[in-house]
Amino acid sequence: MPAIDSHPDGVAIWIDLSSTEPDRAATFYGDLFGWNRTEPDEQMGGYSQFTYQGKLVAGLGPKQSPDMPDFWCTYFQTPNIEATVKEVSTSGGSVFVEPMEIPSQGTMAIVMDPGSDPASNGGRNGHGAVFGLWEPREHKGFQLYMEANAPCYFELLSTDFAKAVEFYPAVTGRQTITLSDTDEFRYAQLSLPEAEPGEGYAGIMDGRGFLPADVPSHWSIYIGVVDADATAARVEELGGTVVAAPMDTPYGRLATISDPWGAQIKLQQVP
């Protein structure tokens, strides 16, 4: 497939991993997905990028604090990061990293959605989901999408579904389409105007029924694979963990895995 050279505003356009051991993590994901790694940029704190067949797919850097877990972060494109960060605060979210310019590449910020009130939510962890914002210049985001070994989908597991479906349209400018609204299964999608229901680029799921009480809201990233079962088996060979074994769903065969340092990511079998 040809490289993607731009993305619409308001959609997820980049992912990166904050890792305890970036060099070993690069080897793990390289062996798992066939990704190559660019040379770490010491002026950017050792940040590097993953490529697949010469096209950008993700970023990799050392985590900024030993107290934080290894995790994959999802970034949404904005045409005006200063205005979007203000909207995050106005809509009840928090700002962890104020807009910071990356010379010639773009401007980033790290923010968090409102989360939930533990007092009214069964004592659950009330922390919101952390995500990134990106106003692009030369760096336009990942260059492959909906393909094997590239990002395919993004999904928020939220401890406060009602807040989430109000917050993200306000911040991203993208409408939500509700696919199910029952106590057993609440699910909405952030969608492009021309998309049909079920064709959104990101989902919002009510996680209160199954998330452990100590697990906060969080964004999950799906990576496309040709064979979910073979990839899951390879994860264990490489020292990772299969958190949820491959299973068939209406959206394909899915699995959840963890790298050896605890960062989780999902697999989606694609043609």
CB count in 10 Å sphere of residue 116: 24
One-letter identity of residue 189: Q
pLDDT tens, residue by residue, 78-117: 999 999 999 999 999 999 999 999 999 999 999 999 976 6
pLDDT tens, residue by residue, 236-254: 999 999 999 999 998 899 9
User: C-alpha 33: how far from its chain's center?
Assistant: 17
pLDDT for 118 equals 55
pLDDT for 1 equals 65
**194 confidence band (pLDDT: 50, 70, 90):** low
Q: What is the pTM of this model?
A: 0.94
Return the bridge partners of 59, or none: 16, 49
Q: Say if residues 256 and 243 touch (Cβ distance below 8 Å).
A: yes
pLDDT tens, residue by residue, 137-170: 999 999 999 999 999 999 999 999 999 999 999 9
One-letter identity of residue 94: S
